[in-house]
Structure formats: structure tokens, C-alpha cells
Chains A and B, each alone.
Chain A
């Protein structure tokens, strides 16, 4: 049952069996994370480079932990302390690093398609850890793993992604992956943050968050990415919170249990009120834990062998 590709660049077009295999494999690694020694010798002798051209806390630490727990050797690179500052191109940076005998590259880059480009110019396996507003496949995989863990299935589950859909790679990867797995996907946010023709991806659109809540079992609440907005898409964060913020009151009105997810980092009391983020419906910290297991699964499936 081979994976269709030797890279993980995105979930667009990834076969259902592959997603299933990654999620099933992650279950085994979830068990490893509960052991007294949270480490297995599986990727001994493999060298993995984390190429982060954009800042990241969670994803970078999560990948690094996943790599180390598989016993791989890890090299970290961040753009602000490198030759990128001296004007080196992505291709040259990557090929030079590869010349030092490495096996896998995890890349985060602001340009959509950066990981795809990289997979064409180097021989190592490439894993996309976020490319601009395009895809963030491991985040969507860990979101799906968490939903499956919580609700026991993905098929038929109604998932609503709330917030800045236009600038979100998390939204796009989730839409591709969830649709493939048979979930019913909708998006919700202010008109200015919903891409035109998003319906063509097979999702429903809500402009009213209370309507969205009525039609969802799971809410994936996205961060309002203030740094990514070169112009304003809504008048103020306070107004955003009033119209689209997920609050205890809104959840109560929905009249049924709804699982609350967030890819982090949270703007507390903007997209998500603090009491909901810390409340019993929230699986945000489970997502973080599952992230390590899912990344171990991806590294195992792509990284073993010669």
C-alpha cells in the first residue's frame, strides 16, 4: 500500500487511501508518545533539515520533536540568520544544504508553491510545512486525526472553518483533505475574507456565524492574521469579535455540543473568547499533541528506506 508520492506537498489530489494510511499510522505513534521513553530508533542515520523561511513556534517545534523521537539527526535553519539575507536564492540554498548529504527537507516559505519548486530541484524528500496562503498539509492531517479521535469518524461529519479563509493555508488543506474523506465542509467569515468562487471547492458558505454553528459538529476557528493583511478587511478586531467571535453564548444558542479547534496561535477574545478556548469543548491542546504523532507518521512513511 504505497503512498502515491515521495513528497508531502499538499492534500489537493491526495488519494483517500493515503490519508487513511497516514492517520492509521499516526495512531501507533500516538502510543509511543505515552511511553516513558518517547523515542524509537526508526530513522536512525537519517538527516532532516528544517528550512524555515517564515517564523513559527508550534510547527517548527512539533516537526523537530517528531524527527528527534524517530532518532533522526536534525538541522535547523531559519532565514533571518542565514545567507538568504545575502541574497542567495532558494534553489541555491537548498542545493548547497543537500550537497552536505541530507535525506529530507521540511520547508516553510511565504511563497505559494515553494515546496513544490524545491521538490523539483533536489533529490531529498520534501515536506511542506506551509507555503504562503496555499497549503499546510500536516496541520490539516492533525486536524482530521483529532476529529476522528473525538467523533470516531470523518465521513459525514460537518466541519465549519471560521475566519480568514482568503489568507489561510490551513483552510485550503483542510477543505481538500476533509472533502476527500467524506466530511461536509463549510466556511464562514466576513465577505472580505471569503475567496470568490470558494463554492467551487464543494463547500457551503455562511456569512452569519450563528447559521454556521447550527450546521456544524466541529468548528475550526482560524486566527485573524493581522500581519498578513496589507489592507484592512474589517473595521476593527472588536467588531470582528462581535460578529464572528466564537463565544460561550453563541455555543449555548446552538443547543448541541460542538467541538472547538484552532490551529494556533490564538488571538484571545478576537476570533475565540478565552473561556471557550479553555473550555471543555476545546480540543486545541489535543491538536498540538496529535500534531507530533501525525508528523512522525509522515516522516516514517516518507523517510524510511534508501
Chain B
């Protein structure tokens, strides 16, 4: 048995993103020094949306890139069989990160392990002035000392629940879903 509830619909989604865009600008005193880096897959689309909003507010072109953190994951050793490893989607950062205030964008902040991998990969690409983290949902249960700078929604969850951020670009609609995972699933 699975029960699923929608904790944000497309209107909430839009409002939350707009707030995040303003918060990012407020903290960085404009868009001058910032660059957005989305973590693939859904972080990429969130970063694109935020970039569009920020560009509209500031009337300025923004630098944007995407990270595929697979090669930096700490669980690759736990892949049991040949071929079970994740398919690479590719990193594409078409600018020099050195000296930038990089806003890392992801959909759900959970254990923090993805962010750890993203930090390592970003720093291998250069030395940013700072790295800030923006997420759509913070669901708790951190396994590493990592904290988001910009949070769309704080959603207290139990470990048996699953949080999914849906996006028009890949899922056909914008929403945040909370699902109760039943025993054994």
C-alpha cells in the first residue's frame, strides 16, 4: 500500500522558485558575481528556471552550468554487478568557476552525500570565491555536516517516506510529492 500526497502544486512551485531567486540576489547583492550550477537531472532544470527568473529581475545574462556527480559518488564500490553503475550524463560547465560565487542547485537535500560529491567535483574544476546551496526541498536525515543556504520547503519526513520533486521538463508537471513507502518496498 502506497499513499501519496501532493505538498506543493505548480502555483506553490512557481512562488517558491520566485522567492529563491530573490533570496539568492539579496544575499549576493545582485547577479554580478554569481553563476548557477545545477546537479543533473532535476537540479539542471531548477537551475535553468532560476536563471531565467534572475535574468528577468536583473536584466543581465547569467552563467549557468550542469554537474553530473556520478564519477564522484561514494557508493560506486557497492555496485554489485557489471552494468549496474549509473549511466553518465556528463558535466558541462562552460565558464571558469574561479572567483565566482557558485550557487549549487538540487531538487531534494537528503543525506548530503550528493552535495559532498558535487563540492569535490566543483573544486576540481577551479577555486570558486564561495559555494552556496539552493534546494527545492530539505527533507532532513543528513549523514554529513551539510546545510543549505536557500531552501524552498522544509519538509520533516520519516525515513520510510519518499520525497519527489516533479518538473514539467521531465515529468510533465511541477509538484512536490510525499509518498509513504510500505514495508518491504
Contact = CB atoms under 8 A, between A and B. Distances in A.
B79 A304 contact: yes
Contacts of A2: 81-84
Interface stretch (B16-24, B56-64, B88-96, B135-143): B88-96
A304 B85 contact: yes
B156 to A, nearest CB: 33
Interface string B72-88: 10001111111111011
How would you classify the secondary structure of chain A's contact residues: helix, strand, loop or mixed? loop
A25 B87 contact: yes
B125 A35 contact: yes
Given A305-B77, A305-B80, A31 B87 contact: no
B82 A6 contact: yes
B119 to A, nearest CB: 13
Contacts of B77: 45, 304-306
B80 A28 contact: no
B40 to A, nearest CB: 11
A28 B91 contact: yes
B125 to A, nearest CB: 6
Interface residues of B, number: 24
Nearest to B68: A28
Contacts of B71: 28, 32, 40-42, 300
A124 B91 CA distance: 30
A306 B77 CA distance: 6
A42 B76 contact: yes
A1 to B, nearest CB: 7
A31, A41, A306 interface centre (most CB from chain B within 10 Å) = A41
Contact of A305 (B82, B88, B126): B82
A6, A27, A32, A45 interface centre (most CB from chain B within 10 Å) = A32
Given A1-B87, A6-B82, A305-B76, 16 more contacts: A1-B83, A5-B82, A27-B88, A28-B88, A28-B89, A29-B88, A31-B91, A35-B125, A36-B124, A36-B125, A37-B124, A40-B71, A40-B72, A40-B121, A41-B120, A305-B79
6 contacts: A2-B82, A2-B84, A40-B121, A42-B71, A45-B77, A305-B85
Interface of A: 1-3, 5-6, 21, 24-25, 27-29, 31-32, 35-37, 39-42, 45, 125, 300-302, 304-306
